[in-house]
Amino acid sequence: MTIKSVAEPRAGLNFSIPKSLNKGISVVEVGPFNENSKAKEINKFLGTNIEQLNIINTYILIHKKDINNLESLLDGKPFVDPITHQATLNESLALKLGIPFDYVLQSMLNPGTSDEDGNILLEQSLISLGKKPLKNDLGLYSKQYFLKGNLNDYEIKNKKGAACCVVMASGGYPGEY
């Protein structure tokens, strides 16, 4: 499999980089991580009604073009414990597994000092394939929170004390934003 400079259009969140970088981009999604106990805490604190919460870790890998065999990394280290989790390459894991959700929250820090997790996974991935990271290769880490529940726009966007913005699934996901 040859990875192109821009991840192929797919259902779910799409990531792209400027063509002028002359780099490839691969998106690995790992999970799901059931966080229903965390949903109960959120409900208690914010007075919401989240019934189900699943988290998927997303690794955006910006690398040399034409890296082959990245899909071989989906069955083991450094990304996956195949006994408890699954992974996809340039495909929405939530949609593939049929995870029910009403809302999606994408959480990602600005590039900079917070890139350690993504860069480590990029380096380990390339080493596993017999490659070395090149100058300007970059690994970014993000989380996707898939929420199922009876929430409304006001409650999500304007709840006092809430430190996030949730995208309504019916308004954009899995389409483009």
Computed over every residue of the chain, the mean pLDDT equals: 77
Mean pLDDT of 42-60: 88
The answer to whether the bond into 32 is cis (omega within 30° of 0) is yes
**Total-model pTM:** 0.75
Q: Give CA–CA dist 57/29, Å, rounded.
A: 6
Summarised one tens digit per residue, pLDDT across range 1-17 is 333 334 444 456 777 78
Q: What's the pLDDT at 47?
A: 82
pLDDT classification of 158: cutoffs 50, 70, 90: low
Alpha carbons within 13 angstroms on the beta-carbon side of residue 103 total 21
Q: What's the pLDDT at 55?
A: 94
